[in-house]
Amino acid sequence: MKHCIIIGGGIIGLSCAYFLHKSGHQVTVIDQSKMDGGASYVNAGYLAPSHMIPLSAPGVMKQGIKWMFDRKSPLYIKPRLNSDLIKWSWAFNKSCNASHVERVIPIMREIAVMGRDLYDQIKQEEGFDFQLEKKGLFMLCQTEQTLHHELELVEIAHKEGLVARGVSAAEVQQMMPDTTLDIVGATYFECDHHTTPGAFMNELKTYLVNAGVVIRQEEKVVDLGVKNGEITFVKTDKEQLKADEYVLAAGSWASMLSRKLNIPLLLQAGKGYRIETTRPTGITYPSILAEAKIAITPMSGCTRFAGTMEIAGINQRINTQRVDAIAEGVQRYFPEVSVTPEEKAQAASGLRPVSPDGMPYIGKSTKCKNLTIATGHAMMGWSLGPSTGKLVQEVIDEVTPSMDMALFHPDRKF
């Protein structure tokens, strides 16, 4: 048995804690927040093997430059002279090519299917009560051009063994009869599931505490002691702690600590937003508005609208223009669904750690023997939480991992 300290208490950190505890280790989780908000709580709740295509796909950088001048655009990169952003942007641009996408699709599909199935396994084994529905996911399209592109993605899904198909606007309307849609057609990924994130996070925290995992919230790691390529202690703003193994699962903040170990993780914080309504919407299936890049999820007690990727440094300020863009986008596809000023005023944001190639960093750097890194999941953090936790446990236990982890290596070059 080892004592493992996990830095970060979001979905990635708690998933690592779960699997390390199940493997017999003593576990401590440290998080600087109250652990009741941020990306792990405000995401769309999708368990989405359909999302195999990385953010760094052909044409994205070119489109991103155009969107730089539109604060309501789906992807907004705030122009600023910052060396980390310049390095990240250069690496991101290099990754935006077809051969990269082709290489990562099978591995992203594998880790996403693994994550989806582990949510189900945890629910069954622990008797959790969180919402987990296997209703699939629609990609709703308002133009024939977008529909054509989405149908190409269905073909890719078929090659990867996923269940998906094109559907007519009439069929979507028939499946959601209590709302009105303005679309030309859609694709339907039956392979995807959805959840209510806050419910799962709360159940998982309760389980871990009852199991003896120590959770230290509102405590910030401010320094690391290092000797002969190993971490000897972590220093927080409250005290100094020692362990045998350390896990860096601090999301968008991870690169601040990795620098202390001379591990230059290229990461940018991608801010996403969510709005909720408890009023009836008639939207009964998870749906992504393809052109607007907005996700809609029917959750326990509400309908959640989530979206945008705002790369503007580490801050959690609410940009009302982007909240407005989500509300306006929803009404374009669902003319009878409107978001009230009061609902927009309650919008929340979360920061997702984005790597330049759209792949997470999972594994040990050659620069530190007793540190395992688990960050950089971008928009897939919720989908990949349990699978990342399982892989981290396998790395620390030095057993053969459940899948090939080469493309996740923290030392990879861009």
Counting residues of the chain whose pLDDT is more than 90, the rounded percentage is: 86
Domain-located, residue 414: no
Domain-located, residue 413: no
pTM here? 0.96
pLDDT of residue 60: 66
Count of structural domains within the chain: 1
Cα-trace Rg, the chain: 21
Mean pLDDT, each 10-residue run in order, the chain (414 residues): 98 98 98 96 97 79 60 74 88 88 95 98 98 98 97 96 98 98 98 98 98 98 95 97 98 95 94 97 98 96 93 88 94 97 97 95 97 97 98 98 98 94
pLDDT of residue 64: 57
Domain-located, residue 298: yes
Amino acid identity, position 142 = Q
pLDDT of residue 54: 82
pLDDT of residue 308: 86
pLDDT of residue 62: 63
pLDDT of residue 264: 92
Residue 163's CATH number: 3.50.50.60
* 1-14 residue pLDDT tens: 999 999 999 999 99
Residues of the domain holding 344: 3-408
Domain-located, residue 178: yes
pLDDT of residue 364: 98
pLDDT of residue 63: 65
pLDDT of residue 294: 97
Residue 313 near residue 255 (C-beta atoms within 8 A): no
